[in-house]
Amino acid sequence: MKSIKTVITTILFTAFLFSSLAIASPWITAAKMRIKSQEWNKALELLEKEITNDPQSHEGYFLIGFVYARLNRIDEMLNAYKKSLAIDEEYKEEIEQDMINTWALEFNKGVNNFQKANNMTTTDSAMAYYDKSAESFRMAIKIKPDSTSTHRNLAFVLLNLQKYDEAIEPLQVIIDKDQSKDGYKFLGNIYYIKAKNLKTQFATTKNPEDSVAYMEMFDKAIAVLEAGKKIYPADSNILLELSNSYIGANKTDVAINAFKEGVEKDPTNKYYHYNYGVLLLGAKKYQEAIDQFKAAESIDPDYENALYNLGVVYVQWGDAIMKEEQDKEVKTDLYKAKYEAALPYLERVIQLNDKDASIWETLGKVYTRLGKTNDAVNAFKKSDELR
């Protein structure tokens, strides 16, 4: 998040302040003197007398707007400038330039407070600066509603504040105006999380209305993410959110077909292979999932997610075989072959990333199943240390 270069302008030059004094009203003349000395409140009192005496004083409203801008009363500034222009457009150029300058000042205040928030050592202090940042960006949007950069920054601040409902509007704006990759990703994620929460609520209430609500929210997530996928077909975050939304909406078959089509159209896209594999794994189509993860690995040998999920597929396949044998009251070593197959992939992932507790935990489980007690103890210990 960067500040913008402000255009330093002085609208009311000395020449302007003292021009036409002979024909100006006494209130305007006195107000200009106060403005020159930056006595904003006294200037405002005089200008209010001006418009009371002459409700059609476009200059009076123009100067009131200028003063309100210096008092950081943005709503009143906009209203005064609007009234001035409605009466006469004599000061249109000056008004437009002052609004640009005021927008830039508010924008930069938002950026500065955001950066201060990021540097805070306590959560409460950070939240206070994020709030200030959000307020400045909101003011900037009022001045310049078409600025996508302002909407983008406001959305990021609100996400940091975890005010997800409030972040929806600016995210939708940057999608509509700029087809923003971040807009699709974050808005899709917000709808997905809201849908999951509603689905959990339905599990407790069993209220049909809750069921309809969570399905509608999943549909919103899917609509946003499908639109994002058309524009950014290789973006791993959008693809992952989309596959998760399909699964959450119990549209696994739709998801599998969609990602199968993606793999067929673009077989060199590791993300398509990976997400297709995730969906196949969810459908317990173990060998087909393995084929997709291996395809992703062949494209990128160090693709950590594909390597980890190769291990996970074999682990889940081994678990399924063991459960089936227990149900049938038979015992073979078939499940061990699957755990043995998982081991090299998980150990390879650990070489790439040894700071993830869940990977160590999965590895410990495999070591346990294979009777490698010491290795299992060390893996679980490492997992506990990282949590």
CATH number at residue 49: 1.25.40.10
Q: In one letter, which amino acid is 50?
A: E
In a domain, 364, yes or no: yes
Average pLDDT, the chain: 91
* Residue 355 in this model has a pLDDT that exceeds 60: yes
Percentage above 90 pLDDT, the chain: 75
Q: How far apart are CA 33 and CA 38, in angstroms?
A: 9
In a domain, 238, yes or no: no
In a domain, 312, yes or no: yes
Least confident of 15-19, 214-218, 342-346: 15-19
| pLDDT for res 348 | 94
Q: Any residues with CB less than 8 A from the CB of 236 and at least 6 apart, and which?
A: 271, 274
* Residue 19 in this model has a pLDDT that exceeds 60: no
* Residue 210 in this model has a pLDDT that exceeds 90: no
- pLDDT tens-place string over residues 91-105: 999 999 999 999 999
Q: Any residues with CB less than 8 A from the CB of 352 and at least 6 apart, and which?
A: 302, 304, 307
| String of DSSP letters for 259-286 | HHHHHHH-TT-HHHHHHHHHHHHHTT-H
In a domain, 219, yes or no: no
In a domain, 119, yes or no: no
Last residue of a domain, one of 65, 99, 133: 99
- pLDDT tens-place string over residues 280-310: 998 899 999 999 999 999 999 999 999 999 9
Last residue of a domain, one of 36, 65, 99: 99
Domain that holds residue 312: 302-387
* Residue 10 in this model has a pLDDT that exceeds 70: no
Between 12 and 56, name the one with better pLDDT.
56
Q: Both tokens of residue 307?
A: 């390597």
For residue 264, give Cα distances in angstroms to 138, 234, 300. Answer: 45, 14, 18
Which residue has tokens 């909406």? 249
Last residue of a domain, one of 47, 78, 99: 99
In a domain, 222, yes or no: no
**Mean pLDDT along residues 239-247:** 88
In a domain, 242, yes or no: no
| pLDDT for res 5 | 63
Q: Look at the chain and report how many structural domains it folds into.
A: 2
In a domain, 61, yes or no: yes
**Local confidence band at 23 (pLDDT 50, 70, 90 cut-offs):** low
Q: Phi and psi dihedrals of 354, rounded to 5?
A: -100, 20
